[in-house]
Amino acid sequence: MSPSSSLVPQPPSSLSSQPPPPSLEAFTKASSSMAPTHYHPVLLPPNPCRWPSDDHNRFLIFHPQESRPGGKFGVARIGKLGNGWGLMLAYCFNHNMDHWSKSCFLPLFFLIHFSFGSRFSKAADTLYPGQSLSGNQTIVSQGGIFELGFFTPGNISKNFYLGIWYKQIPVRTAVWIANRDHPISDTGASELKISEDGNLVLTQSQIQVWSSNLSTATSSSAVAVLLDTGNLVLRNSSNSSAALWQSFDHPTDTWMPNQKLGLNRITGEHQLITSWRNLEDPSTGLFSLGIDPKGTDQYFLWRNGTEYWTTGLWNGKIFANIPDMSSGNYQSYVHVSNERENYFTFTFRDTSTISRLVMDVTGQAKIMKWIESSQDWLWVCLLPSDPCSVHSLCGAFGSCSLETVPFCSCLEGFEPQSSTDWNLSDWSGGCVRRTPLKCFNISVNTEKDGFLMISDVQLPTNPQNLEVGTAEECESACLKSCFCTAYSHSSTCSIWNGDLYDLKKLSNGSSNGDSGVLYLRLAASDLPSKRSQTVHRSIIIIIGAVAGSAFCLLVAVALIWKFQSRHPIGLSEEIKGSLVLFRYKNLVKATNNFSEKLGAGSFGTVYKGTLHDSTLVAVKRLGRTGQGEKQFRAEVSTIGQVRHVNLVGLRGFCVEGSERLLVYDYMPNGSLGSQLFQKKSKSKILDWTTRFQIALGTARGLAYLHGHCRDCIIHCDIKPENILLDSEFSPKVADFGMAKLIGREFSRVLTTMRGTLGYLAPEWISGLAITPMADVYSYGMMLLEIISGRRNAEVSEDGDIAFFPLWAASKVKEDEILSLLDCRLEGKANLDELRRACRVAVWCIQASEIPSSKNGKGTILGEVIGAVGGFVIVLELIWRYRSRGPIGGSKAVDNGTLMVFGCRDLQTMTKNFSERSGGEGFGCVYKGALPDSTAITVKMLTGLIIGI
């Protein structure tokens, strides 16, 4: 009989606790009656090998009482019995292990515990001296909340790290990493153990990778325990209250509840949480958060040691720069300051949810909350609230914009230095030129460098000011220096030498002291005029196949172009029932060389124009970038094929060289945003009746896009700036550059994040599939702005952002709706309409996962009906936006009139919420029935998150 391969022990998947061993009396009785007297069990050194995880195959080694060379060893096969104790049949083999000895077979039976070593079975949360953690072994905190073991982050990395993560969350989220800067490659050859001097050490192939690095020797009886707080504590087994070392004193990127983060005034040790390098590399990143090393009671954010934001001083209740803390609804802080140390700890008031504070790779400190229904993390607070205020977030020649996701993009003529890092949200490498400047290599035939004008930007940091008079002299001064990369001229001349940092694209109409026009130096071949000539040599006619209808449209464009080359026309030529193809030179004439600017967005600028028949139009000139091309295609393939009274009319377009232009009907009253947020006289303020009609008209337009087109169209960027107003203040949904088409056979679609911050639905952030309800959420945000006349997120004088909808929702719950009305209206509004609008706005925001009506008759407003009281929503798709009936009270639902239910009634209807049918968005869904047996669905929301 040859040795079986099953004798090779394998590591267990986890160190779990075992049932208690039988009494010594029972063991002695069994051994004396069943075993030969000249054999007895050997007490082996702890962890001489790794035991198999299969409960049916365990091995133990025996030896004779008279140990001598060539003696017999017994190998026992253990069979599983009852509570984890088993029957063992012993075999013996020669000491030299070369063959089995059949004569040594002994009918020897013992009762023995499956796990060797009594210490190993005491607790699953503890590592004892002599034990080690290796391979896929883990230890789990007593309550099963946290787990310690080896892991590899993300999908790309092949490195392994020793870390602590949440045990019960399917998305592995590490809260502490031991060897973040020293990864290992082979977990089988690595182990975590307690060394002879009492330190926790991590080794790979017997080479030390990481250590707790205690300077003084500790007791050999030290043990390591993983607590339910996520803290790994090294302590003396005889004194569990005194920690010799703990992971909470050495944080990585996460600040946990009840964890100190501060300064030891005796040793000077400064605790920081520091971001990962990127989304899949946990090594030390660029951004850190920590208390002021000078000892003041405030926290700073640093980028490589350079401060870029502070919480402001602690006044005993809140930090000065975080006024939302005053609500106290989410976190509470404890401050300790004495001669020895200065630190803060915090706790989350809602202990039923899992929350943490993490230093993110974007340079923002984020308070994250685990959403069980979506199985993902959702941020509830960002510090600072403006990501573009993070120092050098986008790296060299990168530009930051709050209107795009991701925030960072490369300037014209530049591309990411590392596409891989860029896609992992590590923008620190910045951008590099596509074409080097010719300054250092000038010859007779070399074209000189030129400048690209970039308007509405916050200028880069560290300019050099020159005393020159005119803009031409400023440009000439920059061209004379081969190190000059950009200049700006207003009252003075500013030039920049070397890389440009901290550029910020400003929203239309916004400005600050550092805003202006920047002239970026580019190689001649990268300037738009030169690229246009290059593109002309190989004209791109096919715009792209977006859908079947878009393909047909492109064929028509090609035919028109061919016909136009044979039969020159004046301003334009129109295909009956289709769009007009405009010539670029005629649009230049119509707009008076693009002289009257109406507005600007992320991808282009809009100008006023007049056609040859005196018809006023709006001409959007898209930027010469890949994003501009995508927006052009999206606009033509969506708004180009639909017609509705509440959708902006697309008259035609122009495609010549690199130029992409769209021609729309002119809206004399501009955008809803310009009307709502203007600072003009009271006579120009929109009255309530007009606002309510704008809200209804916008809803009709969205309902048409979602339910009545051949393909469902998700707009993806609903906001006041994209709602235009005609001469009668009738709303027109506009700007379809981010729109997404989905077939009627699909209810949702996965797509890249798009839209504007402040209006993005939660599913954009969590990465869930997108449905038309993403537009519903944005509509709700905009509706609150229509009601209040204020932005949903307003920047205060100290730079912080107050999130208006959280406060508004609480007022709706308390039925204090007049407090939400624009104060400039002086209370002049129809209260029933105001109440309906307020409730619909909150429902749109809170119920972003309501299923669409299958019969196609549901509307954007009909899909969010419900009762705000008690945060309970009754979902019946019966209300229409044309309904005018009163809301509330005890009236039954009749012809679309909404009824407000009491919580006690809903408990009866749902049999005390006993039959759960699902969970989406922010709460659980239950089945129920009205008194007339009408089946209903009741959604109970988890509530609001206000403050931090």
pLDDT in the model for residue 900: 55
Which are the contacts of 60, defined by CB distance < 8 A and separation ≥ 6? 41, 75, 76, 78, 88, 112, 116
Q: Who's near 28: CB < 8 A, 6+ residues apart?
A: none
pLDDT digits (tens, 9 = 90+) for 650-667: 888 888 877 888 898 999
**Superfamily, domain 137-248:** Bulb-type lectin domain (2.90.10.10)
Alpha carbons 306 and 554: distance in angstroms, whole number: 52
| pLDDT, tens digit, 9 for 90 and up, residues 423-455 | 888 899 999 999 988 875 555 556 788 999 998
The whole-angstrom separation of Cα 522 and Cα 526 is 6
Q: How far apart are CA 193 and CA 203, in angstroms?
A: 8
What Rg do the C-alpha atoms of the chain give, in angstroms?
35
Catalytic residue among 717, 735, 775, 822: 717
Among 471, 449, 594, smallest CA distance to 524 is for: 449
Domain with CATH 3.30.200.20 in the chain: 539-665
CATH superfamily of 539-665: Phosphorylase Kinase; domain 1 (3.30.200.20)
Instruction: Give CA–CA dist 64/36, Å, rounded.
Output: 10
Q: How many helices and strands (H and E) does the chain possess?
A: 14, 55
- Residue with more model confidence, 867 or 129: 129
Mean pLDDT of the chain: 73
CATH of domain 251-391: 2.90.10.10
CA–CA gap between residue 595 and residue 619 (Å, rounded): 11
Pairing status of strand 650-656 against strand 616-622: unpaired
What is the C-alpha to C-alpha distance for residues 204 and 198, in angstroms, rounded to an integer? 19
| Angstrom distance (rounded) from CA 248 to CA 176 | 9
Annotated catalytic residue 499 = no
- Asked whether the beta carbons of 837 and 820 are under 8 A apart, the reply is no
- In the chain, which segments carry CATH 1.10.510.10? 672-941
Q: Where in the chain is the domain with CATH 2.90.10.10?
A: 137-248, 251-391
Is residue 620 a known part of a binding site?
A: yes
Q: Collapsing DSSP states into helix, strand and coil, what is residue 26?
A: helix
Q: In angstroms, rounded to a whole number, what is the distance separating the alpha carbons of residues 522 and 397?
A: 12
Instruction: Give the pLDDT confidence of 373-392 residue by residue, as tens digits.
Output: 778 888 888 899 888 889 88
Q: Name residue 192's beta-bridge partners.
A: 133, 202
With CA atoms as reference, report the closest residue to 773 among 620, 920, 885: 920
Three-state secondary-structure class, residue 389: helix
C-alpha 183/C-alpha 210 separation (Å) is 10
- The most confident of the ranges 157-166, 787-796, 810-819 is 157-166
d(CA 298, CA 262): 10
* Other Cβ atoms closer than 10 A to 923: 20
Which range, 182-191, 582-591, 765-774, has the best average confidence (pLDDT)?
182-191
Measured between alpha carbons, how far is 908 from 701 in angstroms, rounded to an integer? 39
Instruction: Flag whether pLDDT at 593 surpasses 80.
Output: yes
Highest mean pLDDT among 208-222, 568-582, 595-609, 715-729: 715-729
List, in sequence order, every residue forming a beta bridge with 281; answer none if it has no partner.
278
Q: What is the CATH number of domain 672-941?
A: 1.10.510.10
Tell me 319's DSSP state.
B
Instruction: Answer yes or no: are the C-beta atoms of 647 and 732 closer than 8 Å.
Output: yes
Query: Is it the case that residue 310 has pLDDT exceeding 50?
Result: yes
Q: What is the DSSP letter of 314?
A: B
Average pLDDT for 845-849: 56
Q: Is the peptide bond before 568 cis (omega within 30 degrees of 0)?
A: no
What confidence tier does 885 reach under pLDDT thresholds 50, 70, 90? Answer: very low
For residue range 292-304, list pLDDT tens digits in order. Answer: 999 899 999 999 9
Q: Looking at residue 144, what is its pLDDT?
A: 95
Please tell me the distance from the alpha carbon of residue 633 to that of residue 585, in angstroms, as a whole number: 21
Q: How far apart are CA 650 and CA 581, in angstroms?
A: 11
Residue 59: its H or E element: strand 58-64
In a 3-state reduction of DSSP, which class is residue 642?
coil
